[in-house]
């Protein structure tokens, strides 16, 4: 029996944050991972404040959270083989996130074909109908991402990667 996509995703889930130093630095967390979709969270942290007057987290945290969640949804949408690179990411900042609240990003890969994936995402701080930001992104499996996947495959085969 070959492994189902969901089983593969479950196995890879711990790497979504742990495999990315920047995601770790921001304290991102994976809340949900399914075929062509991902939910990620940026816990509120004082060391990530962008405007000391309002105590609102920096827009860059929302940018990184959305980029990461969209990338994971694209990765899943493309069959969870190679990690695709972001081609473009467009973000609309609807309102500032509330200080003290976590930001949650829900990303869905609406189309994946061949090497390309299109993703839509919403970021909110508790109420999905009142978004902090929305995003639209395109991803592609590039030559460097294919080479990286090859290296991982070889390392697993030769037992160099435990």
Partner 1 sequence: MSEALIETLLKAPYVAKFGIYFERKGDELTGVLPYGEHLVGNPLVPALHGGAVGAFMEVVASGALLASQRLVRLPKPIDVAVDYLRPARPIDVYARAVIGRSGARVANVRVEAWQGRREAPVATLHGHFLIKQQPVDA
Binding stretches for partner 1 (CB under 8 A): 19-25, 46-53, 57-61, 63-68, 71, 83, 85-93, 96, 142, 144-145, 148-149, 151-152
Q: How far is the CB of 145 from partner 1 (least distance, A)?
A: 7
Q: How far is the CB of 122 from partner 1 (least distance, A)?
A: 15
User: Would you tell me how many other CB atoms lie within 10 Å of the CB of residue 11?
Assistant: 11
Helix axes 59-77, 5-18, angle to 10 degrees: 150
Beta carbon nearer to partner 1, 69 or 112: 69
Burial class (CB in 10 A: 0-12, 13-18, 19+), 119: buried
| Residue 47: CB minimum distance to partner 1, A | 5
- The smaller minimum CB distance to partner 1, of residues 36 and 72, is found at 72
How far is the C-alpha of 78 from the C-alpha of 111, rounded, in Å?
Answer: 9
Question: Which residue, 2 or 88, has its beta carbon nearer to partner 1?
Answer: 88
Nearer to partner 1, 112 or 135 (CB): 135
Distance CA 42, CA 37 (A): 17
> Minimum CB separation from partner 1 for residue 105, in Å?
11
Residues 6+ apart with CB under 8 A from 115: 78, 84, 140, 141
Integer Cα distance of 82 and 112 in angstroms:
13
3-class SS of residue 37: strand
Nearer to partner 1, 34 or 58 (CB): 58
CB of 26 to partner 1, least distance (A): 8
């Amino acid at each position: 029996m070959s492994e189902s996509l969901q089983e593969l995703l479950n196995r890879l889930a711990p790497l979504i944050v742990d495999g990315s130093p920047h995601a770790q630095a921001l304290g991102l967390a994976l809340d949900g991972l399914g075929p062509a979709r991902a939910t990620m969270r940026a816990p509120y942290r004082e060391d990530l404040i962008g405007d000391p007057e309002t105590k609102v987290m920096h827009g860059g945290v929302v940018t990184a959270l959305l980029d990461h969640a969209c990338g994971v949804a694209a990765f899943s949408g493309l069959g969870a083989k190679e990690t695709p690179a972001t081609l473009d990411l467009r973000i609309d900042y609807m309102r500032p996130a509330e200080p003290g609240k976590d930001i949650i990003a829900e990303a869905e890969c609406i189309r994946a074909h061949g090497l390309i994936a299109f993703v839509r995402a919403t970021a909110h701080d508790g109420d999905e109908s009142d978004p902090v930001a929305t995003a639209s992104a395109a991803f592609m499996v590039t030559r460097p991402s294919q080479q990286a996947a090859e290296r991982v495959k070889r390392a697993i085969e030769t037992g160099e990667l435990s």
